[in-house]
Amino acid sequence: MTDDENKARIPPKQLRIVGAVAGVGSGLTKVTVGHAFDTVKTRLQVTPGEYRGAVDCFWRIVRNEGPLALYKGATPPAVGWAAIDSVLLGSLHNYRLHLRQYTVFNEPNPSDPNARQLSLLGHGFAGLGAGLTSAFIATPIELVKVKLQMQQEALKSERQFKNPIDCVRQVVRVQGVQGLWKGLAGSLAFRANFFWMFMSIEALMRASTRLENTPFEMSEGIANFVCGGLGSCAYWVAAIPADNVKNRVFGSPLEASTSVREVVKTIYTTSGMKGFYRGLGLSIVRAVPSNACAYFVYETLLRTMGAERTRT
């Protein structure tokens, strides 16, 4: 079915919300698959030198705090990632539709001489716009998640923050409402790298079509799974420095006036450039399966709901 036929078949309002609905499924999938890895990564980034590595961190959490401690702070992302990915992927769908209207971001469709398709650069800028848009809702959610993850007390009664709501209440009391957006600059820098992720995914999806009629031919769903996982590698290689910075800001004590600039200076002074890449290996180990599953769910839901296609 052509894009024009899809436009005629799907009401305009539905075209604008299907990405957001599919994003909810993507966000819940990410939390289910990847939160335990994220807890270990966050501990390594925020308290450098405390653990000998990812394996040591994992076993110490399990031994001292119990296996469920790996899912500390899971409530904010369970709710939050559904909201974040709803905004991220909902806006991505709309940015793709919008950018495809401009010649500078579209190109001839090789499979249909009479049609145009969004270029790789267009997919990148759609990802950039979606990442920056989602940063404003992601910042307070990730701030609460990090503060909960950093609590090492096994007994809930000994922890500073009893639950996500208590954490929000304490942040607002000490820093004001604006404290929930402390580290926004780092979050914007971090999420701007969705430029590389969605451009990479589209490039890989196009490459996968060249496998047709070969022993390695993949269905569209399998290609979504594989390319979503591989595309996340490009994202994390580019984004991990900003991730280290924003997590240090998020994990700082409530009374501290830690800024993004101060954290950048501290990391460089104490660890050099390698300090900005702390947690990269673990991030990729976590991101490949979680993003493979999440992107598969997102694209499958778009197809199921009959969304207008934004990629070839």
Q: How confident is the model at residue 1 (pLDDT cuts 50, 70, 90)?
A: very low
CA distance 224 to 207: 12
CATH code: domain 12-305 is 1.50.40.10
Is 26 within 8 Å of 295 (Cβ atoms)? yes
pLDDT in tens, 230-282: 999 999 999 999 999 999 999 999 988 888 999 999 999 999 999 999 889 88
Would the pLDDT of 17 be above 80? no
Tokens of 166: 């208590």
Would the pLDDT of 3 be above 70? no
Q: What is the pLDDT of residue 76?
A: 62
Tokens of 143: 């701030």
CA distance 309 to 224: 14
User: What's the mean pLDDT in 12-19?
Assistant: 58
Q: Supply the mean pLDDT for the chain.
A: 85
Q: What is the pLDDT of residue 12?
A: 42
Give me the torsion for CA of 125, 128, 130, 131, rounded to 10°. 170
Could you state, in order of their start, the residue ranges of all structural domains in the chain?
A: 12-305
Task: Looking at mean pLDDT, say which of 15-29, 38-52, 221-235 comes out highest.
Answer: 221-235
Q: How confident is the model at residue 82 (pLDDT cuts 50, 70, 90)?
A: confident
User: What's the mean pLDDT in 156-181?
Assistant: 91
> Alpha carbon of 264 to those of 59, 249, 280: distances in Å?
29, 10, 17
Stronger pLDDT, 261 or 47, i.e. the higher one: 261
DSSP state of 150: T
Would the pLDDT of 11 be above 60? no
Task: Looking at mean pLDDT, say which of 22-36, 164-178, 205-219 comes out highest.
Answer: 164-178
**Least reliable range by pLDDT among 197-201, 202-206, 231-235, 305-309:** 305-309
Would the pLDDT of 34 be above 80? no
Q: What is the pLDDT of residue 78?
A: 67
Q: What is the pLDDT of residue 25?
A: 78
Q: How confident is the model at residue 206 (pLDDT cuts 50, 70, 90)?
A: very high
DSSP state of 180: G
CA distance 80 to 268: 31
